[in-house]
Amino acid sequence: MGTHLTPKELERELRERSPESENLIRSLMSCDRRHFLKVTARFAALAAAAGVIQPHAFQLVEVASAATTPEAAPAVAFSFAYVSDSHLYARGMTHRFAKAAAKAVADVNALDPQPDFVLFGGDLAQLGRPDELDFGRQILKDLKAPLKMMVGEHDWYFDLGEKWREMFGPDRYSFDHKGVHFVVLNSVVEKDFWTANGFTPEQRMNIVAGLDDGRQSRFEVGEEQRDWLAKDLAKVPKTTPLIVFSHSPLYKYYRPWNFWTDDAEKVQALLFPFKNVTVIHGHTHQLLTNRIRNIAFHGMLSTAWPWPYAPTGLPKLTLQMERADPFDQFDACGDGTVDVLAKGGVDKHYNLWDRNPRIVAYADVLKGIKGGGPSY
C-alpha cells in the first residue's frame, strides 16, 4: 500500500495517524536545506513505521542522494572527529583563520555523544613558527575529547619539526582503539633542496608553503619511516581493520601541487595485505574519495580555505564539490566525523560549513560509485 499516494494524500494520511507527524510536516515545510536531510530521514522512518510507505519508496526525495542506496545503516562501532589544515598565524583571535579554527573546535565540542578522539590532520601553523604552533595548541586545548596530532608541511619546514615534536611528541606513531589499529604518518618528508641552494629556514618554509612553488621536492614517507611502518604492521593481524592518517594523500593525484606522495605505491604495498584499510588525509582542502584495491581514501576539509580541484588526476570516485563562493569565508571549509563501522571500513562525514553535509558511505566506496550527493 501507499507507494502511489500523492504528496497531499500522504500528508493527510500521516496527519491523521499521529501528532508527531504533524510537527514533522510543519518542520519539513519550514526547514532550510541543511536540516532537510535530517528531517526527511525521521519522516521516512515514521512513515515506514506507520506502514504508510515503504522505506525505499521514500527515496523519491531525490535531494537525499543519487548514489546512496536505501539499505539499513551499518552498525557503527565508534566515531572520531577531525579538524585539519588550520594554517594559523599568530595574529590573535580576530584573524579569520583563528576564528575558523575556533569554530571547528566549537563544532566538535557540540557533538553529542562526544567522539572517542579528535584527529588534527596537520598544518596547524602557516609558516611553522613556534608562536604559531603555540597559538594553535591553545585553540585546540579547548577540545573536550582527547586529541591526536598529525604533522603537515606548514608545521615542519621552519625548524624541521623541532618545536612541533617538543609540543606534540613523535611525528609518527600508532595506537589501537576498540579493535582498530591506527597509524599516524609524517608523509611530508622532502629531499633536501635547501642546503645546496643556501636557503635560510625562513626561505625554506616559504617555498614549501607555496603550493605551486616548484623549487621544493615532492612529499614522501621515506624509506626509514616505511621500515618503521612495516615493523609496526608486522604485529597486527591481517584481519584487524587498519586506519592510516597521512597529511598528503597516499596516492598520486597532482604532482605540481604536492597532491601527491612520491613513494605512495611502496606505502600502499605495505597496506594491501590487510583486509580492511582506510587512509584519511589532509593537505588537499577539498572533498576527495578514492579507492585503490582494498584501500579507501578520504580527504579532509580545511578550516582555513578550500583549494580548487587540480587540473588533472582527480580520483574517479570523487563527487566534486561546486566551486566555493569567495565572498563566504566559511564556504567549502569545515570539519567532520568518521564513523568506524563494526564490520570495518568507515562512513566519512564532511561537515561543510554553510552547505549541506556530505556523507561518503563505505558501501558506496566498495561498490565504486560516487557517494554523498551534492553539497549545495
Partner 1 sequence: MTPLRSIGVAALVSAAALLSSALSHSAGTPGGAPLAERAERGAVDGYASRTVWACDRRKSVVVEGVRPDEKLPPRKAQQVASLLGDLMRFCNEEVVARISTQERITLSVNGLPYVDYVPGGPLPVELVHGKVIHTDRDRQIWKAELDKVVAEGDRLFHSDELGTNGIACAMCHPDAANTHPETYPKFQTQLKKVALLRDMVNWCIENPLEGKVLADDDPRMKALEAYILVKRGHVPLEPGKH
Binding residues for partner 1, per CB under 8 A? 87, 89, 91, 95-96, 126-127, 210-213, 256-257, 305-308, 310-311, 323, 325-327, 329
Residue-wise DSSP of 122-189: S--BSS--HHHHHHHHHHHTT-SS-EEE---HHHHTTTTTHHHHHHH--SSEEEEETTEEEEE----B
Residue 210: CB minimum distance to partner 1, A: 6
- Between 112 and 212, CB nearer to partner 1: 212
Min dist. Cβ of residue 205 to partner 1 (A): 13
Cβ 256 to partner 1, closest distance in Å?
A: 7
Q: Report in angstroms how near the CB of residue 371 gets to partner 1 at its nearest.
A: 25
Query: Do the Cβ atoms of 146 and 306 come closer than 8 Å?
Result: no
Give the Å distances, CA to CA, from 43 to 51, 112, 155, 248: 12, 21, 46, 40
Class of residue 355 by CB neighbours under 10 A (exposed 0-12, middle 13-18, buried 19+): buried
CB closer to partner 1, 248 vs 278: 248
Least CB distance to partner 1 at residue 212 (A): 4
Provide, rounded to whole angstroms, the least separation between the CB of residue 66 and partner 1.
24
Distance CA(46)–CA(52), nearest Å, equals 9
Can you tell me which residue has the cell 619546514?
A: 157
Residue 74 per-residue DSSP state? P
Task: CB nearer to partner 1: give 107 or 123.
Answer: 123
Helix axes 96-109, 130-140, angle to 10 degrees: 30
Which residue, 292 or 310, is less far from partner 1 as judged by CB? Answer: 310
Q: Which is nearer to partner 1, 17 or 95 (CB)?
A: 95
Quick check: 315 and 288 in contact, CB under 8 A? yes
The 8-class DSSP code of residue 309 comes to P
> Quick check: 85 and 97 in contact, CB under 8 A?
no
Residue nearer to partner 1 on the CB measure, 50 or 102? 102
Residue 66 or 211: which CB sits closer to partner 1? 211
Shortest distance, position 309 Cβ to partner 1, whole Å: 8
Rounded distance, CA 265 to CA 275, Å?
17
